[in-house]
Amino acid sequence: MRLFLAINLPASVRRGIRAATAPLRDATHDRDAVKWVDDDHLHLTLKFLGEQPDASVGPLRAALEAAVAPHTTFTLDVGGLGAFPNLHMPRVVWMGVTPEPKLELLQHDVERACAALGYSLDARAFRPHITLGRTRDRVARDDARAIATAARAVRFKATALAHSVDLMQSELGPHGARHSVLAALQLAGAP
């Protein structure tokens, strides 16, 4: 099974992101230039684990419960658009999440718990973001320019309570991925 760890966003925030970023989805001449994420899949990824055996879920859940337990709920500030590597050559178009010490400590402890189980450490620095879309191939210069222009016009800010780290399964199918929560590991003070 394909697994990842995430902080899921409330439906109202996901709908707000979707509505605010509509100009991005309409900006390109090539409608297939970017594979846009469905609003019900918008989340903040803490760690991608990839294909794992079914038997890994139990040990992951136990390790993550211990890692998450000392952390308290906190607020995510969502807003601002960007792309990796940049908006002029986008591979991943994203909405930003303001760096927050509680989030960075949580992600660090999640990473350590996974490393203790033998999962590789992510070599890249943690840059909190919500993936909005991924390019299929190299984006045409005109489409990249259109995405950058549309991104500058998006004005969206929201807050969301981070109350759990969710162990997620992503099942790939002919109509795209389907995500399901295998375990919701509650932060202290979660409602």
Q: How many helices (H) and strands (E) does the chain have?
A: 5, 9
Task: Confirm whether 43 is a catalytic residue.
Answer: yes
Whether residue 85 is preceded by a cis peptide bond, meaning omega within 30 degrees of 0, is: yes
Please give the Cα distance from 97 to 44 (Å, whole number).
8
The structural domain count of the chain equals: 1
Range(s) of the domain holding residue 157: 2-186
Higher model confidence: residue 58 or residue 88?
58
Within a domain: residue 78?
Answer: yes
The band of 137, judged by pLDDT with boundaries at 50, 70 and 90, is: confident
Phi and psi, residue 151, nearest 5°: -65, -40
CATH of the domain at 96: 3.90.1140.10
Within a domain: residue 191?
Answer: no
The band of 80, judged by pLDDT with boundaries at 50, 70 and 90, is: very high
Please give the Cα distance from 60 to 48 (Å, whole number).
13
Within a domain: residue 152?
Answer: yes
Within a domain: residue 50?
Answer: yes
Which residue among the candidates 43, 71, 88, 175 is catalytic per the annotation?
43
Which residue among the candidates 129, 163, 175, 179 is catalytic per the annotation?
129
* Predicted local confidence at residue 31, as pLDDT: 83
Task: Confirm whether 129 is a catalytic residue.
Answer: yes
pTM check: above 0.75: yes
Within a domain: residue 145?
Answer: yes
* Predicted local confidence at residue 174, as pLDDT: 74
51 burial via Cβ count (<10 Å: 0-12, 13-18, 19+): exposed
90-115, pLDDT tens digit by residue? 999 999 999 999 999 999 999 999 99
19-47, pLDDT tens digit by residue? 999 999 999 888 888 999 999 999 999 99
**Are 6 and 53 in contact, with CB atoms under 8 Å apart?**
no
Within a domain: residue 38?
Answer: yes
